[in-house]
């Protein structure tokens, strides 16, 4: 694995005049960093910034152009804050809680990154009490909020939480989850990541100023907690670290145990085996820091993680940005799992038609006769006849996306694409598979 310091170019504020050069968010800690568009763009929000003041600014980094921009965002912005959470769901960023410097917060705001608009949704149900230093993770359409630190009813004492709240991001209903098993102890400044149907809590600091390195896993289907038995080169206790998930591997960087003991080490946890690895890099990495933000840029930048800013042991904010090249392929490419019905169907098609000829339908639909070209497909949530030409308006609730044709099969084509940051593969079926060369028989439906 290797680190690379990212050198960026300046760009003007979106919609502004010349001379307003933006080199990025500048020195920042207590902020969040979220990748969207499959890792093409990185959004930084909030934290302590210029003049050591809290901010509610949004900055966007383009990983292709290597440039920062500061978009003009419509809607009602959240108040300036730090120690909040910001979670990516599709093209939306869900910001919850944090602190305004005096009091913990419990508001929820959504940034639509396509329209660059803030939305404050109407929420039902019992939401989490105000808190900072909590964590958040997403499984499916559910947003999980765990732990953090708030204030007692009289406002005189700190309260550390180990409760779990779940927000349905389609109905916007909160609920306080009733869990079983062995939950993590109350804590803040920990990390929480998701993998398949599980969320994983690592480390943090409890109400007795004790630093932790334990790992707890919640099965989000059964809501049962269990502590993971770990082995290998164990993670030293810490808080204020950043954990970035990449498949079954969790990468933990930075953190602290006290004001004079900060980390710049990198650890990797294999969730399958519970094995920790102290990762050594072939290049110089970031300096020791805490309150650093990070995310995964895969699949747009395969196997690459990004870390931005943080705070050093002199309590000075940092403005640097690093890529970590893990050299790891996605799990599905690295180790095939038990074949799904879709994969079994694909293999069956390949066996029945081992040497498919070039399909002339491809050229008529602007795809080109060689594989790997791009075609436009209507995105339907379930199998449906495709009776609307691609140059006409779409039915309500439907959208267009581009997919790459990877192979000819007897039933149609295999395709792959990225929708809302999720890599997908599927089969584009034909109305009449035996009439591939007839212009009257167009692709009718697809299955992912």
pLDDT per residue as tens digits for the range 233-276: 999 999 999 999 999 999 999 999 976 799 999 999 999 999 99
Query: Is 2-329 assigned to CATH 3.90.550.10?
Result: no
pLDDT score recorded for residue 279: 95
* pLDDT < 70 regions, the chain: 10-23, 259, 331-340, 342-401, 410-411, 420-422, 429-448
Could you say which DSSP state residue 333 is in? H
| CB crowding 282-317: b at 16 or more within 10 Å, else e | eeebbeebbbbbbbbbbbbbebbbbbbbbbeeeeeb
How far is it, in rounded angstroms, from Cα 254 to Cα 69? Answer: 27
Dump the DSSP string for 3-30: EEEPP-B-EEPTT--TT-EE--S-SBBS
Could you say which DSSP state residue 43 is in? E
pLDDT score recorded for residue 356: 43
pLDDT score recorded for residue 381: 37
Other CB atoms closer than 10 Å to residue 366's CB: what's the count?
11
Boundaries of every domain in the chain: 2-329, 338-447
Residue with tokens 């940051």: 421
How far is it, in rounded angstroms, from Cα 30 to Cα 291? Answer: 5
Tell me the pTM.
0.73
Cα dihedral sign, 335-191-136-177: positive
pLDDT score recorded for residue 260: 73
pLDDT score recorded for residue 394: 55
Other CB atoms closer than 10 Å to residue 343's CB: what's the count?
13
How far is it, in rounded angstroms, from Cα 319 to Cα 263? Answer: 17
Could you say which DSSP state residue 248 is in? T
């Amino acid at each position: 694995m290797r680190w690379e310091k990212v050198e960026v170019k300046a760009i003007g504020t979106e919609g502004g005049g010349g001379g307003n050069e933006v080199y990025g968010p500048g020195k920042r800690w207590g902020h969040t960093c979220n990748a969207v568009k499959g890792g093409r763009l990185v959004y930084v929000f909030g934290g302590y910034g210029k003049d050591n003041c809290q901010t509610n600014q949004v900055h966007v980094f383009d990983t292709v152009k290597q440039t920062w921009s500061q978009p003009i965002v419509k809607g009602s912005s959240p108040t300036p804050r730090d120690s909040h959470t910001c979670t990516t769901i599709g093209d939306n960023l869900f910001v919850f809680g944090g602190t305004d410097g005096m009091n913990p917060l419990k508001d929820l705001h959504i940034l639509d990154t396509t329209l660059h608009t803030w939305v404050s949704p109407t929420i039902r149900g019992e939401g989490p009490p105000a808190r900072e230093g909590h964590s958040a993770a997403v499984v499916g359409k559910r947003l999980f909020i765990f732990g953090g630190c708030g204030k007692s009813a009289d406002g005189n004492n700190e309260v550390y939480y180990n409760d779990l709240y779940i927000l349905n991001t389609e109905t916007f209903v909160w609920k306080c989850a009733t869990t079983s098993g062995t939950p993590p102890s109350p804590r803040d400044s920990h990390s929480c990541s998701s993998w398949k149907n599980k969320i994983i809590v690592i480390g943090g600091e409890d109400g007795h100023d004790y630093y932790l390195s334990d790992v707890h896993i919640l099965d989000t289907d059964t809501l049962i907690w269990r502590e993971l038995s770990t082995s290998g080169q164990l993670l030293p206790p810490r808080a204020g670290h950043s954990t970035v998930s990449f498949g079954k591997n969790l990468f933990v960087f930075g953190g602290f145990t006290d004001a004079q003991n900060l980390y710049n080490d990198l650890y990797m946890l294999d969730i399958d085996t519970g094995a920790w690895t102290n990762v050594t890099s072939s290049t110089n990495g970031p300096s020791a820091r805490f309150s650093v933000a990070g995310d995964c840029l895969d699949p747009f930048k395969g196997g690459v993680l990004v870390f931005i800013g943080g705070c050093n042991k002199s309590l000075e904010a940092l403005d640097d940005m690093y890529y970590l090249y893990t050299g790891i392929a996605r799990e599905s490419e690295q180790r095939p799992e038990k074949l799904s019905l879709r994969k079994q169907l694909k293999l069956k098609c390949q066996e029945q038609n081992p040497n498919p000829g070039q399909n002339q339908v491809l050229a008529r639909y602007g795809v080109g006769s060689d594989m790997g070209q791009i075609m436009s497909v209507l995105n339907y949530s379930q199998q449906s006849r495709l009776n609307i030409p691609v140059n006409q308006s779409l039915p309500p609730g439907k959208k267009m996306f581009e997919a790459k044709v990877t192979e000819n099969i007897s039933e149609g084509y295999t395709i792959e694409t990225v929708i809302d940051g999720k890599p997908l593969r599927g089969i584009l079926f034909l109305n009449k598979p035996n009439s591939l060369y007839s212009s009257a028989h167009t692709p009718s439906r697809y299955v992912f």
